[in-house]
Structure 1
């Protein structure tokens, strides 16, 4: 599992991307280097998206077939980086 970096390591673009995902309407493609779509439009900074995924801040909501779009979610580390409360386990 990817290791989350120190929250201070996040730049403005990374924080903005995390906030967009937190607001909902974001999807990731299921792949080793996921692409992000927000409200159906491709994110223009896929390098940031790939970095956030590798560092463990974002993930697909569930496992899907390769290339399929699935809802994007913040991991516990991603929520912590934004100072959001942890979600209750279902």
Structure 2
């Protein structure tokens, strides 16, 4: 017999790993490389899913706080779209 669990709210189109990466950015734990394919580092360790990091950057959800030279690591921050992606959406009552 299986027990149904309530799903945590996840923004449409983003998986749990992407949401966790965004939360690490919010917590000030992330750095991003200045590059056309920016890599994400969390707690000074390269993120295990750089493909998702690239998707988040190209989708405009994360960005570098400052400009830097190619390859330089700078703090990462959420954009307005990134903040919206983490905001739970209200569900209409059935």
Is the TM-score greater than 0.5? yes
The Cα of 1:65 is off from its aligned counterpart by 0.5
Count of residues paired in the alignment: 78
Using structure 2 for the length normalisation, give the TM-score. 0.78
Using structure 1 for the length normalisation, give the TM-score. 0.82
Query: Which runs of 5 or more residues in structure 2 are unaligned?
Result: 1-10, 89-94
Post-superposition Cα deviations, 1:42-62, rounded to whole Å, max 9, x if no partner, equal: 111000000000101000001
Other-structure match for 2:31:
27
For the aligned residue pairs, the C-alpha RMSD in angstroms reads: 1.2
2:45 counterpart of 1:13 = no
Q: List structure 1 runs of 4+ shifted beyond 6 angstroms.
A: none
Query: Which runs of 5 or more residues in structure 1 are unaligned?
Result: 1-6, 85-90
